[in-house]
Structure 1
Amino acid sequence: RGYFKPLNKNLPAMPDSQTILTTKNDSKITIGEEAELNQVTVEQNGLRVFSNEAYLRLDNNNRMEVLELMARSKYQNDKLLIWASSGVLNIKQNQTRLNRVTYRIQVENGNIWGQAKSVSRDDKHRYYFHEPTMSFCPPNGNVWSIKAKTLVYDPNKHLIILEGAALLNYDYTLVSLPYLNFATEGRKSGFLKPDIEWTPYGGTAIFVPYYFNLASNMDLVLSPAVFTKRGVGLSSHYRYLTHAGEGDLMFLGLLDQDKDTSRYQILWKNETLLRPDLSLSINLSKFSDTDIFKDFGNYFDLLDTLHPVELARLSWVPTWGVVDFGVSNFQNEFVEESGTLADVHYVSIDPQQLYLTRNLIFKPEIGYAHYSDVAQSNRGDFGSSIDRGVVNMDFSYDFRKPYVFLRPSIGSTFRWYHSDGKKSSDDNIPYLKLVTGLNFERFQPGLHQTLVPQISYLYTPYKDQTNLPILNSSVAATNDISTLYEAKRFLGVDRIEDNNALILGFSSRAQFKEYYWDFSAGQQINLKSPRVCLYSDCQDVVGGSADYSPLFFNVSGTYPSANVNTHLAYDTDLNMLRSLGSKLQLKTEMSDTVGIDYEYDARRGGDDNQIITELSRVGMHAEYRISPRYVIKPAVFHDFKSNVTTSYEIINVFKSCCWSSELKLGRRYTGASTGDPDSYQWFASFMFHLDGFTR
């Protein structure tokens, strides 16, 4: 009957003043009298009406005046479909009335279905449904519905108004409302679905959000809240768009009856394009106390609750490169002094590489930064406030042929440190690198295989750097083979590793019709043992010691229904496993998915602080469809090195034809101290969603 067919297909297009009537039989029509017609169709611009039997009356000017529908009839435009037992089309006055109707209204992302005693249309094309029922469920599945005295549908304003409404579960009335309205397209102010959450410290929290459509470029959600163990609160989320950018302002406030004080979280994010080549990013946050995360969770989903950071960055992107000005201020009150991060004001200049000749490339990098409140353990011979300037110059020659490549490069890193007028230091560390390799390809029916063996030589002289501060340097991960040919043990520039090493390796891909495998391996061979460490005693962090001679293996496969990746890093100098890990993702034809990953890492531990390799993290996530309507989504991530990132949760989703619910249970870190068991808490949340009625 067309219930599920698109409504805007093959509708007539004609002038608004024109009406066309066609009928199966050739009837005689007398002016001023009614004529009986069979299988009659009336067409106007964007409208088609069909009836098996109708009576037509012409006016004195021989124009169609009234069409009375005497049998089951169909009324259709681009947004509305109505089946009626009878009705009247007043063509002359551009009005309609239909009786005992079943209707469908097409709305954004769905349809409204219902029945009504009658429906009338005025000359402004507004529809008035009398004693209607409505639901976003299809006619054969009215789990929930709304019954009202009147439903007004205004397609021009994309608005539905209900008067004397009652929300029903089947035939049972859940709640009665004297007035209700919502938008069929776009945004409109109104209540959103409530949110129920639970934490051990806050108890059960109930949020009742109300959406304000302030303007086409801004909106606001205000959510009064009740915490059963703490008191009442309010959350808000203000979003805005400008001609040059966008932003969010979020707030969570609480009158904490348990602590007899006001508590809050505030976050502001802004992205602005000042000019086509100039952008500004701002991220500011404020918190009332250091227990706010423990008591109420990471409400704004911050990446780091131990070091909440306030950021501002101005980026200029001219044709010749990128220039960044920035500020990063860390809120260190959540951690002890030894765990603080230094605030930094910086400027960096990163020009594009310059081709001096066709193959000769020059790449400079320039940076300056001022660090304040540097932790005592990271200062070296300097004070708490340190200035650092860095200039890196790199010259490389890129020679490529289809079968061979050669990339020699030389460069130098200039560093300058200054602290409060008391200490100043500068140095210059050159380096030499040579990379060469061959390209092999083989083609067979259904197979394309590549093989790229290569060899690198790196030389960087040793320089004692134990007196220098550690401002933004750390040990690089040893589980990524892409870093092998760089032989870069440290991130940042405060420690520059010494090298006199060969690196041998290869990479290969076997590409089949629907899947492929990647293989890669490499070995660093130290011609002279490296000596630079992250810390002066070379014992604090594995990999921060000078011993470094990794052997890498990596295998990955990609199938339509599966992805797998395994890597291994073994240190041949220390005769120890540095890292071992795998990731596996499976997907079934029913869209069920499961992912598993784990990682073994080396660390120092035990009474004698020796290097040991142990399981450092394990993770699992899945989406399993128990039935067509019930899905569970378990997720586990356990970090054995830092429980801060450990979390467990399971999401239960039940979706019916026109409603859905979500129950989430889990445990996560929300505190400030990894040794405090109260920093880890259970949480729960529940959401209920009526399709189309709640958003």
Structure 2
Amino acid sequence: MRPALRLLPLPLCIAVSLTAFADERPGMWRLCPLDDAVPVFPDAPPPVGTAADRDQHPTDIAGDELSGIYDQVMNYDGNVTLRRGDQFLSADNLTIDAQAGTYAAEGSIRYQDSGMRLVGQRLQGNQEQDTHSIEDVRYQLIDQRGSGGAARAELQGEFGSLYRSSYSTCPPDQRLWELRSRQIDIDMEEGFGTAKGATLHLGKVPVLYVPWFKFPIDDRRKTGLLYPAIGYNSRNGFDWEQPIYLNLAPNYDMTLGPRVMTRRGFLLGSEFRYLTESGRGTLEFEYLPSDDLTNRDREREIREVPIADNRREEDRGMFHFNGRHRFNSTWHARANLNWISDPRYLEDMSSSLADAAPSAIASSAGLYGSGRYWSAGLTADYRVLSDYTLRRERLPYYRAPRAYWIWERPHTPWLVTGAHVDLTRFDHYDSDVRPGGSRLDIKPWISMPLEGAAWYVRPTLAWRYTGYQLDNELAQDLDPATPDTSPSRSLPISSVEAGLFFDRDTTFRGERYLHTLEPRLFYLNVPYRYQDDLPRFDTRNLTFSWGQLFRDNRFAGADRQTDANQLTLALSTRLLRESDGSEKLNLSVGQIRYFDDSRVGLTATSGQIEAGRSSWVAEGAYAINDRWTFNAGYQWDPKERRDELVSLRTRYLIGDYGIANLGYRYRRAPQLEQVDFSFLYPINDAWSVVGRYYYSLHDSQVLEGIAGVQWDSCCMSVRLVGRHYVRNRLGETNDSIQLEIEFKGMGSAGPDLEDRLRRAILGYYRDDLYLVPPSEIGDGGDDGDDFYLDPLP
């Protein structure tokens, strides 16, 4: 009887194939009832093993009556059951003709394994010819949502067919959508299925007909068509992209993406992936020849974009490569290479502010190594302008090459030594306007950390040398009277950091907490060195924040080293709930006291600090309850007696999956004042409204406005969203109304609104609550490698 069981996975093949490209998301099936198209069989034993090891289990057949002749014709009548591993088969009667090699099972056929359940009316076949068929099939998947049926299923060897089949993830009594096919031919040896006359029904109404398509039925990668992306907007017109997957080899493949935009032209995209024992990589390319948008908007663009080099090209494209290769346990190489044909490419190919916000696209490649006490690298980077409102001269210097070595080794528990060496060559896109040079930065240091159970003291002494070899033009620009092509700077840096830890048990609102008090001191001493004759390749001011209270340099980059005679005083306190370790309260406050003027600035006239006190820096977080949290940051300048920064953010969880966020941020210099309100409010289990109001008080402009409604069911979702958003740094805006219909377990039609809402509403899914709120408009982080707008010389 084992060959007969080969027929039974046929209904599963179509269900698996239709869900092959549908990603599950959090809470996707939360509204699904427990009713199944094929109910659980109460007399079926628990599955033993998996489909992979069925041949290792014996086959047991039982029934109320057994008649016939052994090895000839045998009849099982009444409550016939067959068990093998995870498989269970039940029928009213079963006849086996051993000499002819035929079998037939009739009446209330039920089958179950670890992945599915099905029922049918008649099962028959010929084991010698390896032909099998089952009539009037209904099936229910177990490991994933999905059910359906077929009028008849036939199998001959590795080839089979399903006639008048159906599939849906909806409950059996509420088929909001269903995919029906006149015939599906399946080749299990090659792992392909071919559907003929497939129709997608919404309720009883057919909405999409596909006369023929081919699809995979297992996890093997195969050449073929993927799901198309279909859309429409005023800029592109009707937009159809048809991905074509090419399975070139076991370790590399390619996806071609021909795309037709009726108002733009034909775009060819491709993605090539490879995987080796020592590395992997992805290469993407897009090419749009003779973009109609370029010619259609040429006169308008000449008026709006005065920088001729930043206008659209006729032939447009994009290139991206990301790869990694490991040579051994110590050394590996990484590359992230990007190119676009013109600075307007991202804006024209994306409607997302998050995607279009960067002013430049960075490329980098390097060789990296690490050991027990050291790390090193040989790298290069480059940037391509992606904001048509800026001149290319404002791009920062690129580093080609850069070599660095970092070493740190503890010799004893109270003695640690280290060094940082960096050698970099700086060049610029326009070397005539921005001549470059080379820089060597060396910083050896020694530290003596002393620690106890409730205290620590960490004195550190370092020496920093920075020397340059400048192009003649740059030396002339820095000091026309006495140009020096080899300026340098060297100075000692000493610091002491110390802290204490106090804790006690306390009770707050009837609950027990661990209350901590953590005072902290940081003293920094760096003598003054004249540095106005040094170039500024990659150095800028760091945003003043809590982390800045404990750094030995207030600049990012090696071109400026602050002089300092200062002491940081800081205090933190926390409330930790003893029952689960969660943090109820976290408060921190700190300030720097400058005993002398800090005379080093980015330029001779900016960035210096007078003796006195810095702004107070305070940060706090408070969990009002398990649903309501509050976070705040505050900086106050005691000299000017004014706010420097105010940041407020509160979050409230509504029901099981709703949320409301309210944030406010003010910064005095560079001036910024924004308010951000976003929410997902569930009206009931099926309906919810979403929205965002992201407004710049300083510019009196809505940065992004979203208003929408969502409808959700067990097997289908609909999102209708109106959006108003800023699309470039000039403040130009776009408006759009977008509709997405999702057929759960199969795919979706329309733009990816789910991803856009997930970006705009922090906590759109509860799994995202741990993420840091995105800063969609700002000036980047404090990392010296981040892109920043370099002032023109």
Deviates more, 1:299-308 or 1:412-421: 299-308
* Alignment partners' CA distance in 1, 2:697 and 2:278: 45
Offset, 1:155: 5.8
1:475 alignment counterpart: 541
> Whose RCO is larger (CA < 8 A, sep 6+)?
2
Cα distance change of structure 1 residues 267 and 225 upon mapping to structure 2, 3 Å threshold: same
1:575 alignment counterpart: 641
The alignment yields a C-alpha RMSD, in angstroms, of 3.7
* Alignment partners' CA distance in 2, 1:222 and 1:347: 36
Question: What secondary structure sits across from 1:472 in the alignment?
Answer: coil
Q: Which amino acid aligns with 1:265?
A: M
Offset, 1:424: 1.5
**What is the CA deviation profile of residues 394-439 of structure 1, one whole-angstrom value per residue up to 9, with x for unaligned ones?**
2111000112211111212111122125522111121221222322
Give yes or no for the alignment of 1:351 onto 2:406.
yes
1:318 alignment counterpart: 371
Residue-pair matches, total:
664
**What is the CA deviation profile of residues 190-221 of structure 1, one whole-angstrom value per residue up to 9, with x for unaligned ones?**
231424253x6545544333444444443433
Give yes or no for the alignment of 1:465 onto 2:531.
yes
Q: Which amino acid aligns with 2:460?
A: S
Cα distance change of structure 1 residues 244 and 289 upon mapping to structure 2, 3 Å threshold: same
Picking from 50, 60, 63, the partner of 1:20 is 60
In the alignment, structure 2 segments of 5+ residues that lack a partner are 1-35, 296-313, 476-484, 749-793
* Alignment partners' CA distance in 2, 1:112 and 1:81: 11
In the alignment, structure 1 segments of 5+ residues that lack a partner are 605-613
Question: What secondary structure sits across from 1:282 in the alignment?
Answer: strand
Quote the sequence identity (%): 17
Give yes or no for the alignment of 1:403 onto 2:454.
yes
1:523 alignment counterpart: 591
* Alignment partners' CA distance in 2, 1:668 and 1:491: 32
Q: Is the 8 A contact 2:47 2:85 kept in 1?
A: no
Q: Is the 8 A contact 2:88 2:111 kept in 1?
A: yes
Q: Is the 8 A contact 1:532 1:546 kept in 2?
A: no
* Alignment partners' CA distance in 2, 1:174 and 1:163: 16
Q: Is the 8 A contact 1:194 1:208 kept in 2?
A: yes
* Alignment partners' CA distance in 1, 2:700 and 2:269: 29
Offset, 1:272: 2.3
Q: How does 1:51-62 map to 2 (within 5 A)?
A: 51=91, 53-56=92-95, 59=98
* Alignment partners' CA distance in 1, 2:492 and 2:427: 29
Q: How does 1:665-680 map to 2 (within 5 A)?
A: 665-671=722-728, 674=729, 676-678=730-732, 680=733
Q: Is the 8 A contact 1:533 1:546 kept in 2?
A: no
Q: How does 1:119-158 map to 2 (within 5 A)?
A: 119-122=153-156, 124=158, 127-153=160-186
* Alignment partners' CA distance in 2, 1:638 and 1:216: 51
* Alignment partners' CA distance in 1, 2:227 and 2:456: 60
Cα distance change of structure 1 residues 438 and 120 upon mapping to structure 2, 3 Å threshold: same
Question: What secondary structure sits across from 1:464 in the alignment?
Answer: coil
**What is the CA deviation profile of residues 86-110 of structure 1, one whole-angstrom value per residue up to 9, with x for unaligned ones?**
333657776543322212356xx73
Cα distance change of structure 1 residues 373 and 298 upon mapping to structure 2, 3 Å threshold: farther
Question: What secondary structure sits across from 1:463 in the alignment?
Answer: coil
Question: What secondary structure sits across from 1:259 in the alignment?
Answer: helix
Question: What secondary structure sits across from 1:308 in the alignment?
Answer: strand
Deviates more, 1:138-147 or 1:651-660: 651-660
Offset, 1:269: 2.1
**What is the CA deviation profile of residues 241-270 of structure 1, one whole-angstrom value per residue up to 9, with x for unaligned ones?**
232222222233323124353222222222
2:514 alignment counterpart: 448
Q: How does 1:368-407 map to 2 (within 5 A)?
A: 368-373=423-428, 384-407=435-458
Q: Which amino acid aligns with 2:470?
A: S
* Alignment partners' CA distance in 2, 1:214 and 1:664: 40
Deviates more, 1:494-503 or 1:682-691: 682-691
Cα distance change of structure 1 residues 177 and 601 upon mapping to structure 2, 3 Å threshold: closer
Per the normalisation by structure 1, the TM-score is 0.84
* Alignment partners' CA distance in 2, 1:544 and 1:620: 37
Give yes or no for the alignment of 1:10 onto 2:50.
no
Q: How does 1:139-288 map to 2 (within 5 A)?
A: 139-153=172-186, 159-186=192-219, 187-188=221-222, 189-196=224-231, 198=233, 201-203=235-237, 205-254=239-288, 255-260=290-295, 261-288=314-341
1:98 alignment counterpart: 134
Q: Which amino acid aligns with 1:291?
A: R
Q: Which structure shows the higher helix fraction?
A: 2
Give yes or no for the alignment of 1:85 onto 2:136.
no
Q: Is the 8 A contact 1:562 1:585 kept in 2?
A: yes
1:609 alignment counterpart: none
Q: Is the 8 A contact 2:373 2:409 kept in 1?
A: no
Question: What secondary structure sits across from 2:212 in the alignment?
Answer: strand
2:21 alignment counterpart: none
Offset, 1:83: 0.8
Offset, 1:366: 0.5
* Alignment partners' CA distance in 1, 2:643 and 2:54: 77
Q: How does 1:536-575 map to 2 (within 5 A)?
A: 536-538=604-606, 549-558=614-623, 560-575=626-641
Q: Is the 8 A contact 1:637 1:647 kept in 2?
A: yes
2:359 alignment counterpart: 306
Offset, 1:323: 0.7
* Alignment partners' CA distance in 1, 2:608 and 2:711: 50
2:470 alignment counterpart: 419
Q: Is the 8 A contact 1:195 1:685 kept in 2?
A: no
* Alignment partners' CA distance in 2, 1:37 and 1:626: 56
Deviates more, 1:400-409 or 1:65-74: 65-74
Question: What secondary structure sits across from 1:331 in the alignment?
Answer: strand
Cα distance change of structure 1 residues 549 and 645 upon mapping to structure 2, 3 Å threshold: farther
Per the normalisation by structure 2, the TM-score is 0.75
Cα distance change of structure 1 residues 14 and 400 upon mapping to structure 2, 3 Å threshold: closer
Q: Is the 8 A contact 1:340 1:375 kept in 2?
A: no
Q: Which structure shows the higher strand fraction?
A: 1
Question: What secondary structure sits across from 1:437 in the alignment?
Answer: strand
2:549 alignment counterpart: 484
Offset, 1:686: 4.8
Offset, 1:560: 4.3
